Amino acid sequence: MSELYFVSSNEHKFEEAERILSNFGVNINLFKTTLEEIQSNSLSKIAERKAIDAYTKVQKPVIIEDDGLFIDYLEGFPGPYSSYVYDTIGNKGIIHLLENTELRDAKFVAIIAYCNGGNDVQLFEASISGKIASVIEKGGWGYDPIFIPQGESKTYANLSDKDKFSHRAASLKKFSDWFMHKH
């Protein structure tokens, strides 16, 4: 099987992806770099561009991941802008925006994009429903301390088995089903 690179600047994502994919018999290497992130309302379009940029940099089969946290009460915000929003107002800002409401439903979406040359990109999307916590829990990374997956009482930050529920695991499962079949 040819080498497969997970291209990202986020080592947390890679660590989780490596662990998840190894359970499906797929090995990945980290190629650490920052990818071009276009402005778009569509996660798929962002993921597609990122995958093409990643292939251009690595010149080997690559996967990239693009995620978004969509909060119902905020009409899907931050969605495709999740990274920018995390870096600016952060978890504190999100909790503040939801201060006066009980409507805390949200979903975390992950798209895995695979590219092995040209403009041919395969997308694998999955999402997990959940809620935004009312206080920021300790631990985890990114939005982990405020996202409670459906059926759980703790946030991602405090679940020892995050991989069982995560948006990342669900999209990687779809990818590996396709990838293993293809090889």
Catalytic residues: 66
Candidates 114, 168, 172, 179; binder of ligand IMP (CB under 6 A) is 168
Q: Please identify the residue of the shown chain whose CB is closest to the bound ligand IMP.
A: 142
Please report how the helices 11-23 and 167-182 are oriented relative to each other, as an axis angle in degrees rounded to 10. 50
Instruction: Tell me how far apart the alpha carbons of residues 99 and 61 are, in angstroms, rounded to a whole number.
Output: 44
Q: Which is nearer to ligand IMP, 26 or 169 (CB)?
A: 169
Q: Identify residue 70 by its one-letter amino acid code.
A: F
Prior bond of 145 cis (ω within 30°): no
Query: Smallest distance, Å, CB 44 to ligand IMP?
Result: 12
Within 127-146, which residues bind ligand IMP (CB under 6 A)?
A: 141-144
Instruction: Tell me how far apart the alpha carbons of residues 14 and 78 are, in angstroms, rounded to a whole number.
Output: 22
Which residues, other chains included, contact 82 with Cβ-Cβ below 8 Å and sequence gap of 6+?
A: 67, 68, 69, 143
Within 38-67, which residues bind ligand IMP (CB under 6 A)?
A: 65-67
Could you say whether residue 149 binds ligand IMP (CB under 6 A)? no
Could you say whether residue 125 binds ligand IMP (CB under 6 A)? no
Query: Smallest distance, Å, CB 123 to ligand IMP?
Result: 14
Could you say whether residue 107 binds ligand IMP (CB under 6 A)? no
Chain centroid, CA 106 distance in Å: 14
Structural element, H or E, at residue 56: helix 43-58
Q: Identify residue 62 by its one-letter amino acid code.
A: V
Could you say whether residue 82 binds ligand IMP (CB under 6 A)? yes
Could you say whether residue 165 binds ligand IMP (CB under 6 A)? no
Residues near ligand IMP, by CB under 6 A = 10, 65-67, 69, 82-83, 86, 141-144, 156, 166, 168
